[in-house]
Amino acid sequence: MLTQERLSVYGEKKREYSHPTNHFDKAIKIAKDLDIDNTTLATILCMSEAIIFQHKNGDPVSTLSDKSHHLLLLLIDVHTYLNSISNGDISFERQWIKMENDYLGEAPILIMRFPNGLDKILEYLKNRSPSLNRVTL
């Protein structure tokens, strides 16, 4: 079980206890909401597509590599910031993630496939989400 200490949107400290499976469930939901296919999600999270398929079919993965778990957390944080900017507009989020971005140089979904891609997207979104700038990741 992992412990994460974060600041809420309102600045108060909160401690989250969670199992990697809970993060995996969130990442699967995010991928579904953003129309990210299994192959792309597997690439983003540095894991095999078979693991994603296995988890989606009700056989939860009990352990993940540290790297994959870190990437799961980053994907969740990216979605949190994107959701804040879009005010929960899923259609905007789907469009944004797949459209070329002048500042980033290409579509965010393409950047996410590379090492440090989620970090780059997260930094970009943090700078554009003043209401969440106090959240520590």
pLDDT digits (tens, 9 = 90+) for 94-111: 999 999 999 999 999 999
Cα of 50 vs its chain's centroid, Å:
19
**Quick one: pLDDT band at residue 23, thresholds 50, 70, 90?**
confident
Identify which of 131, 19, 115 has the alpha carbon closest to the alpha carbon of residue 74: 115
Is the Cβ–Cβ distance between 30 and 79 less than 8 Å? Answer: yes
Check residues 77 and 18 and name the one with the higher pLDDT. 77
pLDDT greater than 70 at residue 39: yes
Sign of CA dihedral 14, 20, 21, 23: positive
The tokens 């003043």 sit on which residue?
A: 130
Query: Which pLDDT tens digit goes with each residue over 55-90?
Result: 877 777 767 788 988 999 999 999 999 999 999 999
Contacts of 67 (CB under 8 A, 6+ apart): 46
Q: Under DSSP, is residue 16 helix (H, G, I), strand (E, B) or coil?
A: strand
Q: Is the pLDDT of residue 115 over 70?
A: yes
0.85 exceeded by pTM: no
Q: Which of 41, 20, 19 is nearest to 29 (CA)?
A: 41
Contact in structure between 79 and 125 (CB atoms under 8 Å) = no
